[in-house]
Amino acid sequence: MDTSTTLVAAFLGLLEGLTEFIPVSSTGHILLAGHFLGFNSAGKTFEVVIQLGAVLAILTIYASRLWPIFRDAPHDPVARRTIYSVLIAFLPAVFIGVLAHDFIKNVLFETPRLIAVMLVLGGIVLVFVDRVAPAPRHDDAMKFPIPMALTIGFIQCLAMIPGVSRSGATIVGALMLGSSKRAAAEFSFFLSMPTMAGAFAYDLYKNRDVLDASAINEIAVGFIFAFIAAVLVVKWLLDYVSKNGYALFGWWRIIVGSAAFVALSLGF
């Protein structure tokens, strides 16, 4: 792997970590950046696998809260319900992700204009929902009712269209179902762990034959930078959205998506 490829992999990893947990679509940003930078990974595996760096960032930050839940689950119904709610929310992504995997990777990931359009549309939705979401009834992400968690899980599946944003879909769903802004972000964090780990494992399995040493080196570089950036973002994000909401991210999506669409229309 030459120096220029290393720098691009590092930049994309940094971009992944900075955008994974904010509702702007990390995959959309990485795919568009890769397009304009001329970066092509084998089977588009790089873009999926480096997300594991962000997952490990969440595990690192929330270890002190997650460990007691798993430790107490055998005898604590509240702890069990927390685990069940996340796993149930994860199930729709398992079924739809497996069934639609090839279409997502071979068609949707290869359509930059679609990604740009979804960034803009998602931004409009986010700005709107940030203003009109109902008064919150749920302030603790670990106590979301099971039906609410399952509904959020189905809404998360919209993010299989690159540019929609996994965190954006889950946050918008949670807000409209009565979550506070902070709890919506936290539940999105928790749901990201099985979702992204599952996507990582399945994508690695599907593309095991096209990965070589160069691809593994690119992934390693992107993984490290994604981890570092995600740690910084997660620590900042909850306080920010609690005070300011999500409108900033909606406007960011609209600006980036519009700029990308214009650039693509001009032949870049």
| pLDDT tens readout for residues 151-210 | 999 999 999 999 999 999 999 999 999 999 999 999 998 998 898 888 878 777 777 666
How confident is the model at residue 138, as a pLDDT?
Answer: 94
Average pLDDT estimate for 80-104 = 91
Cα separation, 86 vs 32, in Å, equals: 30
Quickly list DSSP for 82-143: HHHHHHHHHHHHHHHHHHHHHHHHHTGGG-HHHHHHHHHHHHHHHHHHHHHPPPP-B--GGG
DSSP state of 164: S
Cα separation, 51 vs 118, in Å, equals: 20
Burial class (CB in 10 A: 0-12, 13-18, 19+), 100: middle
Res 35 pLDDT > 60? yes
How confident is the model at residue 163, as a pLDDT?
Answer: 92
Question: Helices 3-19 and 26-37, interaxial angle, to 10°?
Answer: 160
Q: Which of 82-91, 153-162, 199-208, 225-234 has the lowest mean pLDDT?
A: 199-208
Q: Could you tell me if 156 and 191 are in contact, meaning their C-beta atoms sit under 8 angstroms apart?
A: yes
pLDDT band at 92 (very low <50, low <70, confident <90, very high): very high
Angle at Cα 161 formed by Cα 53 and Cα 27, nearest 5°?
30
At 159, list the tokens.
């993010």
Cα separation, 93 vs 156, in Å, equals: 7
Res 62 pLDDT > 90? no
How confident is the model at residue 42, as a pLDDT?
Answer: 60
Q: Could you tell me if 12 and 28 are in contact, meaning their C-beta atoms sit under 8 angstroms apart?
A: no
Res 212 pLDDT > 90? no
**What's the pTM value of the predicted model, to 2 decimals?**
0.86
- What's the chain's average pLDDT? 88
Res 25 pLDDT > 80? yes
